[in-house]
Structures are given as structure tokens and as C-alpha cells.
Structure 1
Amino acid sequence: MTRNAALFDALTLGGIHARNRIVMAPLTRSRATAQENMPTALNAEYYAQRAGAGLIVSEATQISPEGQGYAWTPGIFSEDQVRGWKLVTDAVHAQGGKIVCQLWHVGAISHGVFQNGGAPVSSSVWTPQGEAFVGDLLADGPLAPHPEARALRLDEIPRLLADYRHACECARRAGFDGVEVHGANGYLIDQFLRSSVNRREDAYGGPVENRIRLLVEAIETAAAVWGADHVGVRLSPTGGPGGSFDADPHGLYTAAAAALSGRGLAYLHVIRPNSHTGPESGREDRIGDLVGDMRRAFDGPFIANGEFTPEEAADWVREGRADAIAFGRLFISNPDLPQRIAAGGPYASPNPATFYGGGAQGYTDYPALAQA
């Protein structure tokens, strides 16, 4: 384990103690119940299998019905959902693990089938590129073009923040160890951040300090419920669904990271450019060492994510470029990933055909190393 030893030091993430620096990234798997959008015993088994991570970040979890944009994703706003997530958190804690709930509002990356036939909301009127995953909710699914989203009205923002507060309260009652505010991947908060989508002329549009306002207010709302030291934030300076972008990603996202400093947050979780964040996202002439500059702008624990090998992850931690590394697809097919990293492998490959929807196949049936 000598090469990867840096990943196995304990780490304090605000008020959360992580037994190692291997984080399970949020992974949408679309296996919640179809009607209630609640987790079940199958989800609890899946997360418990992966509880060896220093920290699990739950799959993206919508804060309200309006926040949903994909079929069979879980929510965290109803009593049924609280009970379902309690199955998960109890199972993770029984294995000595820690888990936070990633709070999600997709904004425009949705479809009318999730909006009672209405238009999704965004920072401004916008029609995202691509298609929504609607599963079996439409006769000609599972994919349908995104409709035009409407601009969230100024008088609706207090209601949106109240939804964040309610979701945070539900997450506490569900037994989570904290929350992660999803400000990444081109979803609602990112739609307020990015200049290609946000064309508002009020206090939430125009200059960078206005475009980061909703992010800051969502963080403050979460901190009022949880305490800042149990609140993390996820940002992705490039890439994401719908084709959104910013004209100056370096200026925007370093400013966002700096605005999150001095608040005592649990961590900042940043996705570096990789093969899943778009063909333009890795151009050095556009972003330079943006992840490094975000690290330097933020004063708390820093988690990096984005197609890391275990060896590269260990190098980043050892060199101080990040405090922990989040792994996504490797955790899908290697439920005992920390043990495999300690042993230097081998690593099983995931089956993309079973990523979204379905049951145990491709979800809880990947064997641990001792069973392989």
C-alpha cells in the first residue's frame, strides 16, 4: 500500500470525521420508487456495501417535486422519503460509515412530465440541448427533448430557499451526517452562475457577485439548519448537461470559491475537466490551473473529483493539491474500493448498460474482492 498510503490518513471535514480520504462521489442510479421517489432496502444494501469510504456523498436528491429532472431519482422532502433514506443512513452507520445528502434542483434540465405539464424553471428563459431521461413516463420514452424553461421570478426565490431549508430539515431527520449543496454540472444553481444561461437584470444577474448570490444564499440556508461545518458544496467549472458555459470560467469559479471561504464549511468538492465534462472543458488556454486556483481561493478542506486513478489520487493528496479524492465509476463496480486501493487492485469495470434504472443487477451484485 506504500504508493497509495496517503489516501488512508483520517481527515476532519468540518464536523465530520472521515476515516480515510477516499470519497464516494454522488452517482445517479435511478432506482428509487416510481411513485414516491423514495429509497428502499435495495438502496440501503448498495450504500452499505460501499461504507468503507471515508465519506459517501449520496446520489443527487431533489429538494422538491419541481427539482426533479430524471426518472426514478430520490427526493428528500416527504415523510416517505425520510423513512426510505433512514434505511440507508442506518445501514451505512452500522458499517461505521459516514454519508451526506446531496441536495439537488435540476432547474431547466427537466421535462414537463416532472412539472405537472408546466415549464421547468431556470435563471432565464433557456432551452437546454439534449434530452431528458423520462423512463417509462411517456409512451415514446425513455428520452424526450428538453422544453423551454421559464425564468424563476424574483418573488419565487424565497420559496426556493424555503425548499432548501425543508430538505435540510428532512435530511437531519433521515439521519444523514450532513448535506452537500449541488452547485455543479449545469443544474439550477449553476444556471444562475453561468453567463450563457443567466441573462437576468436584477440582483441575481449581470456581474459575478450577483450571479453567485443564489449559491451563497443556498449555503447560508443549509448552514442555518445544519451548522456550516456539516455543509459541503459541489462545483464544476466546466461541462454539464444542456450545453451551458461561462464566458470567463476562471474568474467566475475562483470568485465562487472565495465567496465560500471564511464560513467554516465542511468542504468544497470540485470536478476537474475530464472526458465526461465536454470536449472544450480541458483547454488550458481557457481555464489554466483553475482547480488549483479554486483550491487556493477556498480556506477549508478540498475534495477533487474527475477520473482519478488511485495512484494519481494518492499523489494529489500527498502533494497537497487536495485533501481527499472522490471516485465515481470505480465505486459502482468495486463496492470495497478502499480495500482494493490498499491492495493495489485489481479493479472491476462497471457495466454502463445497468447504470440507470433496474434492480440488483449492476447495482448490488458486484462482488467484493474476497468474493471475486
Structure 2
Amino acid sequence: MWGSIPARKWKPMLRMKYLLLAVFVVALGSLAACGGDADKTEKTEKTDTSSSAANTTGEQASGQASAEQKPTQPVAPPAPQELSGAHILVQYQGSQRAPETVTRTKEEALALAKEIAQKAKDGQDFAELAKEYSEGPSGPRGGDLGVWVQGRMVPEFDEAILGMEIGGISDPVETAFGYHVIMRKKVEKVAARHILIMHEGSMRKPPNVTRTKEEALALAKEIAQKAKDGQDFAELAKEYSEGPSGPRGGDLGVWVQGRMVPEFDEAILGMEIGGISDPVETAFGYHVIMRKKVEKVAARHILIMHEGSMRKPPNVTRTKEEALARAQEVKKKLAAGEDFQALAKEYSDGPSAPRGGDLGPFGRGVMHPAFESAAFGLDVDGVSDVVETPFGFHLIQRYR
């Protein structure tokens, strides 16, 4: 049942409902959200009101400081962008969260970071350098930080990567955690469904799976052929898959390249949209994969929180009934033709309020399911009815 969990995250993610990650932290939030696969020793300890990648309030672009406001017109910050990169962290004695085994001086750490940066610029493989030198948790996976939303890293890190070209290598960047050599990567996302057939030797198999490896492969081949012959993939997943995504038709949502185990990633990246794979073997069993188009919408929202809302600020004291009445009042104003962005600035309790509620673009599997269903079900320029999530009541406007 854990066949599509990223190799680097399968232990912590045993508690998660879904196969994916983070970030995001993510995460970012990317991010991952979650946040996802972010290195806690390298990312900020900021807490935004949006929660993880799998269950956000719709405040995907949250955690941003309120904009400085003029007397009559708030100045809305731009919606933060998603970023992706890898890094090599060189720590020194006294750097934040450095283990006792790190005894080099700050000067020695800077010299080593400069040497590593030059090796990367001279063409040596960045991932291999990260595995050899990095003292961050991402080192064993080649320094990969996945995807995160701008503002989730410490400011020095974000500022450095925002000034880089895709594929570029930074000079050493100093933060409280040490010196970072950074490579900026393209934010590349994929989406798929899969059917997982486990066997007696599969990692994390449930006790009721007793078939041999040979029997599992034969069954996976039979299912792959049925899918290629035109049978509905989602229905086949519901019938056969032994992964947690089975009941939802094998849908894995959207994730960033590099988050799955290598065999899974390599298989899907070689497929066309709508294509069906032959059985793909991983430590978790045999997977039949269908690659999907990455669907995205762009939306704004107005969030009305109440005293029972998840992650509400202390100044929100209204009851749930009062919050619903307030949301319905805003809905009437929208129906009367008032401007959505102006109302978001006036009424929304979410961090996106200064931006007119703008959340930017997002894919499936990022927002809370109720929020996602409403947003993807709207026509462009359409406005939802009141949508309830654990974070409060939302009014959503899709603009792309």
C-alpha cells in the first residue's frame, strides 16, 4: 500500500492518508507544502495559516506579511511564486542545529563551500557533490529540496535563488545554518493514477497479501492489458489496487518530479499523457500507471473564520453561525455586482486578503478536498456558493 511513497519520506509518511508530499513543503510548498519534503534544518520555522499541501485552506500563498497600507488604498504584495532547487549545506561549529561532530570554523566552512561551488560550476554532478559533502538532511537524496512557495525558506536563501537562472549554481550563501551552495531547478509537476499489486515480499504489505511475486506480476500484466483494451482505469483501480489511492480510482494527484521512488518517476516521465504502462516494479510491488494531464486553476477566495476554525488568529471570536451569516452577506454583495477583490480586502480573514484573495494557480491534490472540488467545478469568472472547510467558510472566484 506504500508503493508510490517517496523513497526518502516513507517512514514519516506512514501516518499520512495520501501517497504524496509536501511542502511542501511543499511544499513547497511545493509545497510542498507539508511542509512536504522540506529540510527543517534549512527551511524557516515560519507557520502560515495554510497548513500542508494536502489540506490547505486555500491559502496556498499564505504566511506572507501584511502589506504596508496607505490611508485609503492597501498595497497588495504579488502572489508568491513556486520555487525548486537543490543545495549543499556546509555547517560550522556554532551554526544553528549543527551536530557536535561538526568542528570546523566558520572560515573553514566558507572555504569548503567555495571549493564545492567551483566543482559544481566546472561541471561535476551536483547531486553527487551533495551526497558527498552536504550536512543537511537532503544530502542523501542529492540535495533535492523539492518545490516550495516563495517565503518558506529563510530570506537569504529565497533571495539568492530568486536571482538565479534555471540550472544556475550560486556562490556560497550564508544563513544561520551555515553556507549553502544552491542549484535552481525547474518546477516540473506530473499527475497520474496507478494500480498497485503487492506480493508476499512487498514492503509494507498488509497481512492478507499472500500471493507470490510471480503471481503478482501475472495479475499486474492482466490488469495492464485490460486498461490498454479500454476498460476504465479508475474502476480497475477501485477493484484491484492495494494502495491507499485505490478507493479514489488510483488518483495520486499532482506531485513534483523526484518525489516518487526512482523506478516510478522514471516510468512516468517516459510516458505520454493518457498512456498506460506495463507493470513497473518497485519495493512495494508492481504498479500499472496511467499518466494524466496536470490540471490547474487560478482562483481568489474570501475566508470567513470562526472561533472553531483551524489556525484562527486570536482576534477571531465570532461563532460559527455568525461566520456563516457573514459569508452569506458577502455572497449577496457579490451577487449584487460588488468587486470580489475589494470585498476580499475588506472581509477575508486569510493572509491573501491584501492581494484581493489571490491564491495564484494550483493543481489538484493541493487544497482541502472541499475547496478543490468547488474551485475546479467553477467556470472562469464564476463564484462559488459558501464552501465550508476546517478553516472556516470560503467564497471562491475562479479567474483562470
Structure-2-length-normalised TM-score = 0.26
Structure with the bigger percentage of strand: 2
Structure-1-length-normalised TM-score = 0.28
